[in-house]
Each structure stands twice: as structure tokens, then as C-alpha cells.
Amino acid sequence: MSGLEAVILTIITAATPLLLAALGELVSERSGVLNLGVEGMMVMGAVCGFGAAFVTGSPLLGALAAIGAGMGLALLFAVLTLTLVANQVATGLALTLLGLGLSGLIGEAFVGQPGVKLGRVSIPGLTDIPFIGRILFGQDPLVYVSLALTGAVAYVLFRTRLGLTIRAVGDNHQSAHSLGYQVIATRYACVLFGGACAGLAGGYLSLAYTPQWIENMTAGRGWIAIALVVFATWLPLRVALGAYLFGAVTIFGFYVQAMGIGIPSQFLSSLPYLVTIAALVVISGSRMLTRVNTPACLGQSFVPER
């Protein structure tokens, strides 16, 4: 395997969890709900996915458990913010803290245990093509899921009635309500979808990326995913682009380290976080780019006028 091929492969695996989590958050935010609990949902997905796979031996069940864990936490968030109109920022933080704490507790039993790795796809004939064979046809299934999901989210949001409703609810919930659309129900669905994606992203980390469980193994990826949505101006295709860019930045750090140049490893590890800040500054500072796509009702509570 050539060096470039290896680099590309690792970029893909680094980008996939970011992509999955960011797509989920994008849908949630498009409907007007800011869910800062992505990190919590992701880490719960990681621990539950690992645990289920470890106990049953099936990475597929692990992935399903990860999705379930993410959705469970998302449901908690939805009840608080949509039904009890609690502050979305505070509740999202609570979700993250709860998720991190709960995952630490559950994960104690699994620290140091060998992981059940999600196998890679292998298509006879195609996978063996030199160089592009493994990149295009030899990934683990979740990579393909993440790419398919990107296309699906883009299609549903912009070409179906459901997507139109979601965008309308996020743009002006009072107008949507007066036109007869169910604002709260739509938001519940979008938040749960976001939770499923975040959970799956976490599951990917513990099932494919580094098949083991380490406490707090998400290391802030959930937060980067949220920043990614802003950076991509709430467009699915740009989210994919951003995820791969961030994946590249992360991997770049590893490879520079491996090359033995005298840059401290900690600095290289901090690159993704610094780049995130820079990206946010660039995007937020330009009103032109954000103007159209920022959901106007993002973070605002909705109580129907009676």
C-alpha cells in the first residue's frame, strides 16, 4: 500500500464520524433547534455501540445500539426544549455533561477490552484494483452510509415537501404555524434524527476508527461537528467537504508527527481545534455567506399563541 493511499484511507476514517454527526445536527438546526448535546450523544453512542458489540459479538447490533443511545438522549433533549420550552443552550450543555458522565460510568466495564471491529467491505474484483480499489470499494460500510446520507439529506431537504416544511419551520415558526404546519412535531422528528446520527457517529469511533473504548474518546469531535455546520453554512454538500477537510487537518498532524520533525505532538493535535476557530471567524465575519442559510429561528423557543 502506497503512502498516499494510506493517507487517503485514514482521512476518510477520520472524516466519517464528523460527517455523520454534522449531518444530523444540520437537520436539527434547519428546523430551528440548536442541539449542543452532540458531544454527549456521540460519546454515549460510542460506549453503547462498543458494549453491545462486545456483548453480542455483532458490530451491526453495536451500530444499532449506538443509534438507539443517541436517540434516547435526543428524546430527553426534545422533551425539555420543545415541550417544556427550556433554554436550548443550557439544555444542550446538560445533555453533553450527562452523556459524558453516563458514558464514563457505563464504559468502566469495557475499558481495555478488545473491540469488535466493523469489517471492511470487500467486493471481489473491484476491491483489488490497485490504489483506487481499496479507497472506493474497500471501506467499512458506515463510510458508504455517511456518503449516502449526505446525498439523502440534500435531496430530502431541497426536493421534497418534508424538507420544505423543515426549512419553513426553521425560518419562521409563527408563519409555519399560521399556515397549519405542526412545528413541534417536525422539530421532534429532526432532533431525533440528529440524535441517531450523532449516536452512529460515536459508534463509528468505537467500532471502526479505534475499536476500543476509552473514556471521553470523542475528544471534542461533537463540538467540531457543530462548528462544521456553521462553517458549511447549513448545506449538506459543504458539510461533507468540511468534514473531509477537517479529517485531513487531523491526519496531517499525525503524519507530521510520524515524520519526526521537531514540532511538539500536542501542537499538532491542537490543529483541528485551532482550525475550527479560524473557520468560524471567517464564516461568521462574512454576513454574505451566512445570510441566506442561517435558519432564522435557530435557538428560539416556540410556544403557539392560543
* Contact residues: another protein, CB under 8 A: 36, 76, 80, 83-87, 89-91, 93-94, 97-102, 104-105, 108, 159, 161, 164-165, 167-168, 171-172, 175-181, 219-220, 223-224, 226-227, 230, 264-267, 269-270, 273-274, 276-277, 280-281, 284-285, 287, 291-293, 295-296, 303, 305-306
Using the minimum distance from each CB to another protein, give the nearer residue, 137 or 302: 302
> What's CA 145's distance to the chain center, in Å?
13
Q: Smallest gap, in angstroms, from Cβ of residue 62 to another protein?
A: 22
C-alpha cell belonging to residue 165: 416544511
Q: Smallest gap, in angstroms, from Cβ of residue 290 to another protein?
A: 9
Q: Smallest gap, in angstroms, from Cβ of residue 72 to another protein?
A: 13
Q: Smallest gap, in angstroms, from Cβ of residue 40 to another protein?
A: 8
Backbone angles phi, psi at 301, to 5 degrees: -75, 150
Q: Smallest gap, in angstroms, from Cβ of residue 13 to another protein?
A: 20
Using the minimum distance from each CB to another protein, give the nearer residue, 126 or 219: 219
Kind and range of the H or E run holding 278: helix 271-285
Give alpha helix (H) positions in the chain: 3-30, 38-56, 59-78, 88-107, 132-137, 141-159, 161-171, 173-178, 183-204, 221-231, 236-258, 265-269, 271-285, 287-291
- What is the spatial distance between Cα 135 and Cα 130, in angstroms, rounded to a whole number? 10
Backbone angles phi, psi at 87, to 5 degrees: -60, 125
Q: Smallest gap, in angstroms, from Cβ of residue 81 to another protein?
A: 9
Using the minimum distance from each CB to another protein, give the nearer residue, 164 or 241: 164
Using the minimum distance from each CB to another protein, give the nearer residue, 136 or 282: 282
Q: 275: closest CA among 237, 223, 235? A: 223
- What is the spatial distance between Cα 224 and Cα 227, in angstroms, rounded to a whole number? 5
Using the minimum distance from each CB to another protein, give the nearer residue, 165 or 212: 165
Count the neighbouring beta carbons within 10 Å of the beta carbon of residue 306.
Answer: 3
Q: Could you give the 3-state DSSP secondary structure of residue 40?
A: helix
Using the minimum distance from each CB to another protein, give the nearer residue, 192 or 230: 230
